[in-house]
Amino acid sequence: MSSDKLDKLKRRLSEINALGAAMGIMGWDQQTYMPPGGARARAQHLGILSGMAHELAVSDETRRLVEEAVAAVAPGTDDAAMVRLVKRDLDLATKLPTKLVEEKAKLTAEGHQVWVQARKDNDFKKFQPIFARLVEIAREEAEHYGYKEHIYDALLDLYEEGATAADCRAMYEAIKEGTVPLVKAIAEKPPIDDSPLRGQWDEARQRQLTETLVQAIGFDFTRGRQDKTHHPFCTGWSVDDIRITTRYLDYLPSAIFGSLHEAGHGLYEQGSPKEWDLTPLAGGASMAFHESQSRTWENIVGRSKAFWTKFLPEVHALFPETASISLDQWYRMVNKVQPSLIRVEADEVTYNLHTLVRFEIECDLLTGALAVKDVPEAWNAKYREYLGIEPPNDSDGCLQDVHWSSGLIGYFPTYSMGNMLSYQIWACLQRDLGDTDALMARGDFAPILGWLQDKIYSKGRKYPPKELVVQVTGKPLKADDYVKGLAQKYSEIYGL
């Protein structure tokens, strides 16, 4: 196509991107620094901007530019990949009424502050009215998008292109088959005592430690920053402006692994080619790919003995009260397996049971099999069934995640997809790099980051996720490497 027409399309996309960036900055600020009293005004601003961005995206002019591009762009080029993404995004956006988009943006801005207060007060009923409307909106969105088999498919596809509820059910069955025996075997062993990691930890020193760790693995603080929030997340509006967050609790590893997790997302975003910045090609291929990277840096790298061979002395220096903890003890403590209430604090082996609970509840909410008012009871029942424990309150139960207040229904299974994918990718990385433990033990993460940059980060959103999985690993997403990796690691830790 003529460069003039392509330039016009890119200019239109840059306008839409700028509105998205403005909303992103407002969203980041809302979860980090905004005073609670600003929620009403922030909701109004986000509603207006969201409507403006939607109208611009679905306008006749935008559609005309995209149609011209689809017909004329050269196959296999970066421009062709960009046009494919724009067409997909446009096809989805045009199915939603602007009024619905505006209402959701306003409601989620209000809902976040309501959720924060409801969680603080341990009162699901405060959040219930907004959540009920968000579920209704999710149903309306799914019907507008359309689906062949299950209503959940329409929403899951937004985060993981081509994935279905049937895929999720098959995934969870494969995970359960491979890990339930491991959980049972571990349960028969003496529990690991991690009480020395619990207590009051100086927040400034936690911040210093976490920033040291994420900078060591490659997060560029000249193009990003870390801040404190209620629920850790990563966001950004340019490859040169990526924001990660963490939280400081009475469990020292919480901030450590929360930061490493979000830094994994940040590394992926910072790794997009500069020439794709502010275009649809920048960013991660999908939520599962994104989660594979956060889990790689949090769990495969961050919970390895080799990693702490290098960095445990840093912990001892900043927190002298931990000086008596040996490397072997620390390694066992941070890899303790025990059914727990909080998803983001869960161990690797039981983590997927947490997302399974949310997946099943979301499916039932969308089909009408479960009423919003009954979510706490259903949540507690599933935790008793799957994890053998029951939340003592809503704050540690159905109010623990920020996602529903943000209208993110259909998202949770991508966490488990990412868990599987992290080990599938790591198996290929180890094959190519050799002794990764030796690299990590001396703090040399450049080869690991470089491999991931070459194979994944530099591809941005150019390829559909299912295609990229095969490109990187040589096979579709499967549970094999994940199950094998967990069995090998935790058999050694627990002497199975």
**Average confidence (pLDDT) over 53-79:** 89
Confidence of residue 341 (pLDDT cuts 50, 70, 90): very high
Report the pLDDT value the prediction gives residue 344, as an integer from 0 to 100.
85
Pick from 3-12, 256-265, 382-391, 408-417: least confident: 3-12
Q: Which CB contacts under 8 angstroms, 24+ apart, belong to 370-377?
A: 372/128, 372/131, 372/132, 372/135, 373/128, 373/132, 375/124, 375/131, 376/124
Confidence of residue 76 (pLDDT cuts 50, 70, 90): confident
Q: Please give the mean pLDDT across all residues of the chain.
A: 95
For residue range 146-160, what is the model confidence (pLDDT) as tens digits? 999 999 999 999 999
Q: How many of the other CB atoms lie within 10 Å of CB of 494? A: 19
Share above pLDDT 70 across residues of the chain, in percent, rounded to a whole number:
99
Question: In this model, does residue 477 exceed pLDDT 70?
Answer: yes
**Average confidence (pLDDT) over 122-132:** 97
**Average confidence (pLDDT) over 450-469:** 97
Residue 341 Cα to chain centre, angstroms: 19
Rounded distance between C-alpha atoms, residue 203 and residue 254, angstroms: 12
Question: In this model, does residue 177 exceed pLDDT 50?
Answer: yes
For residue range 294-309, what is the model confidence (pLDDT) as tens digits? 999 999 999 999 999 9
Please name the residue that has the structure tokens 């941070």.
334
Share above pLDDT 90 across residues of the chain, in percent, rounded to a whole number:
90
Report the pLDDT value the prediction gives residue 1, as an integer from 0 to 100.
43
Q: Kindly list the distances between the CA atom of residue 202 and the CA atoms of 255, 310, 317, 321, 400, in Å, as whole numbers in the listed order.
A: 12, 22, 13, 12, 24
For residue range 400-437, what is the model confidence (pLDDT) as tens digits? 999 999 999 999 999 999 999 999 999 999 999 999 99
Q: How many of the other CB atoms lie within 10 Å of CB of 461? A: 23
Report the pLDDT value the prediction gives residue 464, as an integer from 0 to 100.
95
CA diameter of the chain: 69
Rounded distance between C-alpha atoms, residue 264 and residue 150, angstroms: 32
Question: In this model, does residue 64 exceed pLDDT 70?
Answer: yes
For residue range 197-229, what is the model confidence (pLDDT) as tens digits? 999 999 999 999 999 999 999 999 999 999 999
In angstroms and rounded to an integer, the radius of gyration of the C-alpha atoms of the chain is 22
Report the pLDDT value the prediction gives residue 130, as an integer from 0 to 100.
97
Confidence of residue 2 (pLDDT cuts 50, 70, 90): low
Confidence of residue 345 (pLDDT cuts 50, 70, 90): confident
For residue range 265-295, what is the model confidence (pLDDT) as tens digits? 999 999 999 999 999 999 999 999 999 999 9
For residue range 354-365, what is the model confidence (pLDDT) as tens digits? 999 999 999 999
390 is catalytic: no
Among candidate residues 262, 348, 360, 362, the one labeled active-site is: 262
pTM above 0.85, yes or no: yes
